[in-house]
Amino acid sequence: MPGTSGYRQVTLFSETDIHGTITFVNDMFCLVSKYTREELVGKPHNIVRHPDMPKKLFQLWWSAIKKGEVFRAIVKNRAKDGSHYWVQATIMPVLNKHNEVIKYIAARHLITDETKAQELYREQVKLLRLDEVASEV
């Protein structure tokens, strides 16, 4: 939660189509990820996926949002320069009047305390029963 210890009051916002292709990012997303808007729009959202993150997390993520559910997770992302940053992500499907997913929106709060981020991530691993966790996250 922004404003609590370890979080910076910064929101990274993005929208994707139903296939995960980025259609919009806010300025803060660009600043933190070190990509320009032009480098992001039209690309798959996994452009910022860090290789330490287990595939199972994203399988759970896609399973939930495709069903119209909101998904929340602590995620380690990779910036364009190879550095990493942690976010608390909330991904929400946008539905049409027939309850069909037409796009996804995501709001991420930047976690600036590395120790806190890793602690939250380890809790998430236990809660979601993520089996394949990189040795050094």
Q: How many angstroms separate the CA atoms of 82 and 102, rounded?
A: 32
Cβ–Cβ under 8 Å, residues 99 and 82: no
Is 134 among the domain residues? no
Is 67 among the domain residues? yes
Is 1 among the domain residues? no
CATH label of the domain that carries residue 72: 3.30.450.20
Q: How many domains is the chain built from?
A: 1
Q: Which helix (H) or strand (E) holds 126?
A: helix 114-128
Is 135 among the domain residues? no
Cβ–Cβ under 8 Å, residues 108 and 12: yes
pLDDT at 5: 55
Tokens of 39: 């480098």
pTM of the model as a whole: 0.85
Q: Residue 75 pLDDT more than 60?
A: yes
Q: Residue 74 pLDDT more than 70?
A: yes
Nearest of 104, 96, 111, 21 to residue 66 by alpha carbon: 104
pLDDT at 135: 42
Q: How many angstroms separate the CA atoms of 14 and 36, rounded?
A: 13
| Residue range(s) defining the domain that contains residue 19 | 7-128
